[in-house]
Structure 1
Amino acid sequence: MQQPEGFIQFGDEHLVCRLKKSLYGLKQSLRQWYKRFNFYMIQIGYRRCEYDCCVYVKNLDDGSFIFLLLYVDDMLLAAKYMHDVIDLKALLSLEFDMKDLEAAKKILGMKIHRDRGSRKLWLSQQGYVEKVFDRFGMSKAKPVSTPLANHFKLSIEQCPKTDKEIEEMAKVPYTMRWYVLVLI
């Protein structure tokens, strides 16, 4: 490492600079941002989920919950009452530069559809499923209720046993995954 251009200390060219603040684009910058975000969320009374470190939850006074789901630098907020979401957005915007994208229409490749009148929510992964079909050359396949006849039973005996069978099955990636799925 060398001293950056314009910041060279003459007589101390052999020394390097010490970074006091994480810079955007460095490998550690995301970690530093997450540490700061996590500290702030805990400070304002949220608990981090023990099973997923990017899910925060707070039990509100009325017995309901508010959830914050974090994915890199995107957030999804969910609560029973909209005023709780608005309050959390206000708190977060005091601490972080934010852009409010209003109601989520898509998250992590899942399409979100709401019917607020009947208080229902649907999640769809149609785009992902279509990509998988395209990848395995099945985009023109006809839909059926089950890919196998009802009387057909899969067993471990049907798995490839010889090296030749295993090599042959490796050429058909979705078949190998099917066997893995059956054996688990």
Structure 2
Amino acid sequence: MDVVTAFLFGVLDKVIFMRQPSDFAKKGHESLVCRLLKSLYGLKQSPRQWNKQFDDFMMLQGFTRSVEDPCVYLNRVSNDVFSLIILILYVDDMLIVAKDKLEMEKLKALLSAEFSMKDLGAAKRILGMEIHRDMKGGRLWLT
């Protein structure tokens, strides 16, 4: 999955002003400024605010953040030891792993309702690694 314009979802926690865009300024009011309420690309705070927004959302959905890797979110969907759903976040790209396809679809629907998302289908590459699947043999490996 890919979050479309992820950094624009972050809510700013500090007061930040910017000059008006030239096409927006009214004659005689060119010296006025705009107060930003949400992040913009190019702000140094934007990546952190997006990550905080996403983390808050995942916690509300019952996920826990991995202690070993804060970009990994886990949720046990039943008492079965293998009923885990895992979401791996890298900036605005995510990989979702689950045994139960229905649980994965539910998570995708939740994410799409909260953020503007693009479903890229089954992952073929992530972080420079190729994902290979042997569906008949029930195997998966990375290269």
TM-score range, shorter chain: 0.7 to 0.9
SS at match of 2:113: helix
With normalisation by structure 1, the TM-score equals 0.60
Q: Which residue of 2 aligns with 1:31?
A: 48
Q: Which residue of 1 aligns with 2:25?
A: 7
RCO higher in structure (CA 8 A, sep ≥6): 2
Aligned with 2:73 (options 56, 60, 76): 56
Rounded Cα–Cα distance in structure 2 between residues aligned with 1:62 and 1:85: 17
SS at match of 1:104: coil
Q: Higher strand share goes to which structure? A: 2
Asked whether the 8 Å contact 2:132–2:140 carries over to 1, the reply is yes
Once the two structures are superposed, residues 17-71 of structure 1 have per-residue CA deviations (whole angstroms, 9 ceiling, x without a partner) of: 4322211332222221111111100001000111211100001114221100001
Q: CA deviation at 1:84?
A: 1.4
Q: Which residue of 1 aligns with 2:64?
A: 47
Asked whether the 8 Å contact 2:131–2:141 carries over to 1, the reply is yes
Q: Which residue of 2 aligns with 1:83?
A: 102
SS at match of 1:7: coil
Q: Which residue of 2 aligns with 1:66?
A: 85
Identity level (%): 52
Q: What is the number of residues matched between the two proteins?
A: 123
Once the two structures are superposed, residues 94-150 of structure 1 have per-residue CA deviations (whole angstroms, 9 ceiling, x without a partner) of: 1111111111011111111011222101111xxxxxxxxxxxxxxxxxxxxxxxxxx
Asked whether the 8 Å contact 2:97–2:104 carries over to 1, the reply is yes
Q: CA deviation at 1:89?
A: 0.6
Structure 1: 5+ residue stretches without partners: 125-184
Over the aligned positions, Cα root-mean-square deviation in angstroms equals: 2.3
Q: CA deviation at 1:82?
A: 1.4
Structure 2: 5+ residue stretches without partners: 1-16
Q: Which residue of 2 aligns with 1:122?
A: 141
Q: Which amino acid aligns with 1:101?
A: L
With normalisation by structure 2, the TM-score equals 0.76
Q: Which residue of 2 aligns with 1:101?
A: 120
Single out whichever of 27-36 and 92-101 deviates more from structure 2: 27-36
